[in-house]
Amino acid sequence: MHRLLAVVPILALAACAGGHAAVTPKTRLDVQVDDGHQITRYTLTCRPAGGSAPDPAGACRALEDFLPRLETSHGACACALSVKSIAVRGVLDGRRLRSPAEVSGCSACDLGAAAALDVTHAFAAFHLTPG
């Protein structure tokens, strides 16, 4: 009887671990990178990071931090038109983005230093130089 009681929790744990269903990432983005000369399109999924982006993990960190700041911002600022930018469409953490969301120095101008750093990291993740 004692052996049976010891086996039951192990079987229950194995049953829970054995049901590996495919998990759809909560963040699925279509990314358009404009370097001022050409536009390149990428896909990006996060947690786990994947897709066609050159650095999916870096892009996920930067965009998952920046985009919520952008969506909740009510500030406005005047800045010159950004020649280089990233446009993002899709689903961020399970919520559809207002499309397209712009990621650029201009879009971060009223969001603080952390947002500006996110833009720098996003640009780097897509091999886009600032300027």
- The domain of 118 spans 23-125
Classify residue 5: in a domain, yes or no: no
34 has which bridge partners? 39, 85
DSSP string, 57-121: HHHHHHHHHHHHHHHH-------PPPSSEEEEEEEETTEEPPSPEEESTTTTTTS-HHHHHHHHH
State the pTM of this model: 0.78
CATH code (residue 106) = 3.30.350
How many folded domains does the chain comprise?
Answer: 1
Q: For the chain, how long is the longest CA-to-CA vector?
A: 77
Q: What's the pLDDT tens digit per position in 39-53?
A: 999 999 999 999 999
Classify residue 9: in a domain, yes or no: no
State the amino acid at position 7 in one-letter form. Answer: V
Residue with the larger pLDDT of the pair 130 and 14: 130
Classify residue 13: in a domain, yes or no: no
Classify residue 131: in a domain, yes or no: no
Classify residue 3: in a domain, yes or no: no
pLDDT of residue 15: 44
